[in-house]
């Protein structure tokens, strides 16, 4: 299968390309490298020994996108590309709406023009807003607490409307929870451009000595130890979920929605302890005030993906921490 991967040089995209190539798929990547590195794709080639077609272009460039579809017989698209920092989205909402929604519309128009009807969209558990209970199933009410989350939600609506208008489209909306970890080789992993927005890269940067201490936002939530609880999923398990979704689209299912998570919640302090055990390093932290928009607990019910995709997360917290530490300790400055 020829698969176009948008944002393929990013954290989840690069790990997904490894699994695609391991399964014998041909990969075409479009990425403008605004928050990723070309080095990640060089290392993907090290791991797989296979070439890919790379386009250093912006999805907002209609002519560039159209030319890629003209050059390649594309069968399916996996759409990762987009801005993703929650805090930045709050301060620059128009930039997020313009980029994330505009690029998706241009991509879908090119797909329509060239007869490509299969797309897997990288959505997020943020579309559930502040859930009324856990675990979260796919039929929960949808909302969002910040502009980044709203772009994910709006793109879901765009794709749903596309399918309503033309039922020949096959669309998988993958709502994933908190990706962590890295490839076993230690050659590719998460490399935030600036101060990490997510827990694991912050913890690992403290452990490697790049940062002084971790800020734990709130210890008064109604959880086991007062800190926020999240569903952490190994990035390789997540990547494999995208392959299962591509397989599903081959059966012409129409529009399908799946949670990708482990179904288990882990608190911030539990994750810190697990990382200390995996790395043998102390991770100093300080308790600070809650962040606006943060919720107490969020974890998935992934039974639907288990049943319909034959997919289940296989890697536990210990392996997530070990793999994240291998990546961080071997690459203290990321891809730089």
Active-site annotation, residues: 148
Phi, psi of 27 (to 5 degrees): -120, 135
In angstroms, the CA 220 to CA 282 distance is 23
Radius of gyration, alpha carbons of the chain: 19
The residues near 307 (Cβ < 8 Å, ≥ 6 apart) are: none
Residue with tokens 């070439």: 51
CB atoms within 10 A of CB 26: 18
Tokens matching residue 104: 């998706």
320 and 181 in contact (C-beta within 8 Å)?
Answer: yes
3-state secondary structure of 1: coil
Our separate counts of H helices and E strands in the chain read: 12, 14
Write out 116-175 in H/E/C secondary structure: CCEEEEEEEHHHECCCCCCCECCCCCCECCCHHHHHHHHHHHHHHHHHHHCCCCEEEEEE
SS3 at position 228: coil
């Amino acid at each position: 299968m020829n698969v176009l991967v948008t944002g393929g040089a990013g954290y989840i995209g690069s790990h997904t390309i490894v699994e695609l190539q391991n399964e014998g798929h041909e990969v075409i990547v479009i990425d403008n490298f605004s928050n990723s590195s070309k080095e990640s794709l060089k290392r993907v080639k090290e791991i797989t020994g296979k070439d890919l077609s790379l386009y250093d272009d912006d999805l907002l460039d209609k002519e560039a996108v159209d030319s890629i579809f003209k050059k390649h017989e594309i069968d399916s698209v996996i759409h990762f590309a987009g801005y993703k920092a929650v805090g930045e989205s709050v301060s620059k909402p128009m930039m997020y709406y313009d980029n994330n929604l505009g690029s998706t519309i241009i991509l879908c128009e090119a797909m329509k023009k060239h007869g490509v009807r299969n797309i897997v969209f990288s959505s997020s558990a943020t579309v559930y807003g502040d859930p009324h209970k856990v675990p979260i199933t796919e039929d929960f009410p949808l909302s969002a607490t910040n502009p980044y989350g709203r772009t994910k939600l709006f793109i879901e609506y765009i794709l749903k409307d596309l399918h309503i208008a033309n039922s020949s489209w096959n669309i998988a909306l993958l709502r994933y929870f908190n990706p962590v970890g890295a490839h076993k080789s230690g050659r590719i992993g998460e490399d935030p451009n600036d101060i990490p927005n997510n827990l694991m890269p912050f913890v690992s940067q403290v452990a490697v000595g790049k940062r002084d201490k971790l800020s734990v936002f709130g210890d008064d939530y109604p959880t086991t130890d007062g800190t926020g609880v999240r569903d952490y999923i190994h990035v390789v398990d997540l990547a494999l979920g995208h392959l299962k979704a591509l397989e599903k689209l081959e059966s012409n299912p129409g529009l399908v929605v799946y949670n990708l998570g482990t179904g288990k919640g882990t608190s911030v302090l539990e994750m810190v302890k697990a990382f200390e055990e995996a790395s043998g390093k102390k991770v100093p932290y300080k308790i600070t005030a809650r962040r606006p928009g943060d919720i107490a607990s969020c974890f998935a019910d992934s039974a639907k993906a288990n049943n319909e995709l034959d997919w289940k997360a296989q890697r536990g917290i210990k392996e997530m921490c070990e793999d994240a530490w291998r990546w961080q300790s071997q690459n203290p400055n990321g891809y730089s």
